[in-house]
Amino acid sequence: MIEIGLITARFLHLAAVMALFGLALFPVYTQPSRANAPAVRVNRLRRTSIFCAALLGLVSATAWGWFAIAGMTGAMMAAADPENLLTVMRETSFGQVWVARIALGVVLLALITGRSSEHWTTAFLAGLLLASLALVGHTQTSDGALWVGHVSADGAHLLAAGAWLGGLLALGYVVMLARRSPSAENIAHAVAALVSFSGMGYAAVAVLIGSGLVNAWVLVGPPARLLTTPYGQLLLVKVCLLAGMLALAAQNRFRLVPALQRSKESCLPAESLLQALRRNVIGEQILGLTIVLIVAWLGTLPPATTALQ
């Protein structure tokens, strides 16, 4: 029960904070400088989603701490004991980071609710909240220079994943709007957003691969351990799902988007292309959420290096 609760809380928190960062970052690289109708409608949906993600992130962070304390003590109601709570907050690195992250989450939610933050401010604070997850979990098994490298790689991995997965939500809004009302303005807005998202995606994938290799070197060791440990086997499933996301993204960028740009001369109507894009974006979102669930699960398993010692 405690383990299932911990995995669920970790999953909800990871998904919420990644969505928050990706949604906040989206207008930074798509640069919607024109106050046109598509941008206004998409931003309205995006702001609502940002608020929901920030709220879910705060609630799930609280639940994560509750189940983590329960796991340390072996009792579900242990977190309700002020003495246990204070001990974890004062004497464990998890407790100290947990308190700091909840405080940051409260500040971020207040800024979002008050609508007093600009794109860069929200994106920066959301990125800080997401990257700080690298300060808990398996990175704490390292020390010295290895710890610095591991935390840096893990933080970069989290930010790249959040930019991609969270950005997919905003991209889905753009494609949905263009599909429901395939006017020239909406289609042009969708194409511009898709091209900008692809440009960001190239950088995100490069960071994901590079930082993923560093994490695997630290936590897995020899490649054979990918097949002989539960951690390695689950990591292989994650890699396969990532390959599926890359395949869908490549189809969008190199086949569907160019066809949409040529839709006036293409034998395929824009509606069919937008439907295919929407289907692929939803497919990427589903695969991405599955990967986040696996990451939440991996965080509760001993690394492959530790399991074989």
Cα angle, residue 304 at apex, residues 241 and 208 outer, rounded to 5°:
40
271 C-beta neighbours (distance < 10 Å), count: 14
pLDDT of residue 308: 45
Below-70 pLDDT ranges, the chain:
32-38, 115-118, 264-268, 307-309
Rounded to whole angstroms, how far apart are CA atoms 71 and 10? 13
pLDDT of residue 230: 93
pLDDT of residue 113: 87
Q: Which residues contact 109 (CB under 8 A, 6 or more apart)?
A: 51, 54, 55, 58
Nearest to 204 by CA among 21, 11, 13, 17: 21
Chain centre to alpha carbon of residue 120: 18
pLDDT of residue 86: 84
Tokens matching residue 72: 């340390």
Distance separating the N- and C-terminal Cα atoms of the chain: 28
pLDDT of residue 304: 86
pLDDT of residue 63: 93
Nearest to 291 by CA among 248, 252, 249, 235: 235
Nearest to 279 by CA among 268, 269, 289, 287: 287
pLDDT of residue 34: 54
